[in-house]
Amino acid sequence: MADPHSPSYYAATVNDTTRYPALEGTIKADVCVVGGGFSGIATALSLAEKGRRVVLLEANRIGWGASGRNGGQCIAGISGEAEIERQLGAAGAKLVRDIRYRGHEIIKDRIARYGIDCDWKDGWMEAAARPKHMDKLRAYYEERVNDGEGDHHELIEPGEFRSVLDTSIYCGGIVDRNSGHLHPLNLCLGEARAARSLGVEIFEDSRVLEMSGGAKPFARTARGRVEADSIVLGGDTSHEFERGRLWGLQFPTGSYVIATEPLSDNLARSINPRDLAICDSNIVLDYFRLSGDRRMLFGGRCNYSNRDPRDITATMKARLDEIFPQLTDKKVDFTWSGRIGIVLNRVPAIGRLEPNLYYMQGYCGHGVNATHIAGEIVADAICGTTERFDLFDSIRHWQLPVGRWAGNQLLALGMLYYRLKDKL
């Protein structure tokens, strides 16, 4: 049986309870998409908009994984931009510029076109956790101005900061008014509903046990089989399919979120008057925002070894209270966790495992925006436009020749260095 959604604030406030059947028997399609999170749903919807017949298979429920339980922050760009430019030169720099807000454009267009209610709000800020971090934020601001993006970026110097966020723990920041935040599970479910309206056949409780992208591509479940011209692995599709270019590429990292009881309108406005989503500038960062009903959603404390804290609620609430002592007496209504897909060079992995077998994964915490970019890139490639896909497919990734457990311990050891840097 399919696992239910995590016991999160998002699962408790879904506005679409549609259940999709399990696959039974053999069906044919132009494309079979494996995975019912943002990667899979965004790809399926892009393909359906291009007139392709699509079947989507999800092992549990639509939005079950990271897509339905993340921080809900839609941040400009993708992770690993400097590495893309380093490897690809001028072509990489152009690619980074061209796609910086492409995910936002896709999401906002779909919200409007398909009537998706997911609490979209404009405004995001990176907050400087240390005084020295402001130098990088000032340099980044100048880059954005030079790229013609100064109209929606705002540099917040230390003396101005408390007018934007009422805490003494940060040392300034940079606001991006074109980025924003939303209810990710309602977005994912809304896009699935839109895909189905265009003819996409969606199946839940349909874990793929075998697949091939050779001369006769197929995906097989316990009770059915899809025969298609192309197969797409959308997101983290577990160990069974980690082979070749995917072996030792991605490692899951624990991240944790709490949601407080609803705050009064006055308290919410006093703490976060612009209703921004916030990430701090540490490598191992905190992220937080207000929900549509004014709860503080606070996440972070990433654990690269995947050893969860003994008491997630207590650990997260203690950190929240450091940042906002005003919330010390507010109780926590929801606590949940999930896994962020980390690749070592931080560049999302988009490519082919074999002819007609595509993959996309490893968004390193920037998945809301990046999944929609990746979905469009792969859909375009399947339909014959391969320029952006070929650039991503050519990027060299680092792979650890070990299993996931050992890889996570090595990753945790490496990240210990950055934790110490953050503290110092």
From the CB of residue 167, how many other CB atoms can be counted at a distance below 10 Å?
17
Q: Does 248 reside within a domain?
A: no
User: In what helix (H) or strand (E) does residue 90 lie, and over which residues does it extend?
Assistant: helix 81-99
Query: Three-state DSSP class for 97?
Result: helix
Q: What is the CATH number of the domain that holds 23?
A: 3.50.50.60
Answer yes or no: is 283 within a domain.
no
CA distances, 225 to each of 2, 22, 26, 238 (Å): 18, 11, 5, 19
pTM score: 0.94
Give residue 67's pLDDT: 96
Give the DSSP letter string of 64-87. Answer: -SGGGTS--EE-SS-TTHHHHHHH
Query: Please, are residues 10 and 208 in contact by the beta-carbon 8 Å criterion?
Result: no
Tokens standing for residue 52: 């392709």
In a domain, 17, yes or no: yes
Q: Do 119 and 186 contact (CB within 8 A), yes or no? A: yes
Distance between CA 261 and CA 294 in Å, rounded? 8
Residues near 164 by beta carbon (within 8 Å), at least 6 away in sequence:
125, 156, 173, 175, 273, 274, 276
Query: For residue 367, which amino acid is it?
Result: G
Residue of 297, 286, 373 lying closest to 332 (CA atoms): 297
Distance CA 7, CA 194 (A): 25
Measured between its terminal Cα atoms, the distance across the chain in Å is: 48
| Tens of each residue's pLDDT in the chain, 424 residues | 678 899 999 999 999 999 999 999 999 999 999 999 999 999 999 999 999 999 999 999 999 999 999 999 999 999 999 999 999 999 999 999 999 999 999 999 999 999 999 999 999 999 999 999 999 999 999 999 999 999 999 999 999 999 999 999 999 999 999 999 999 999 999 999 999 999 999 999 999 999 999 899 999 999 999 999 999 999 875 556 766 788 888 888 888 999 999 999 999 999 999 999 999 999 889 999 999 999 999 998 766 556 778 899 999 999 999 999 999 999 999 999 988 888 889 999 999 999 999 999 999 889 999 999 999 999 999 999 999 999 999 999 988 765 554 444 444 444 444 455 555 5
Q: Is 57 domain-assigned?
A: yes
- Kindly state whether residue 352 falls inside one of the protein's structural domains: yes
Query: Which two three-digit tokens encode residue 115?
Result: 């009537």
Strand duo 173-181 + 201-203: pairing:
unpaired
- 388 domain residue, yes or no: yes
Looking at the 3D structure of the chain, how many domains does it have?
1
d(CA 402, CA 374): 27
Give me 238's structure tokens.
């577990």
220: containing domain: 1-120+182-242+346-393
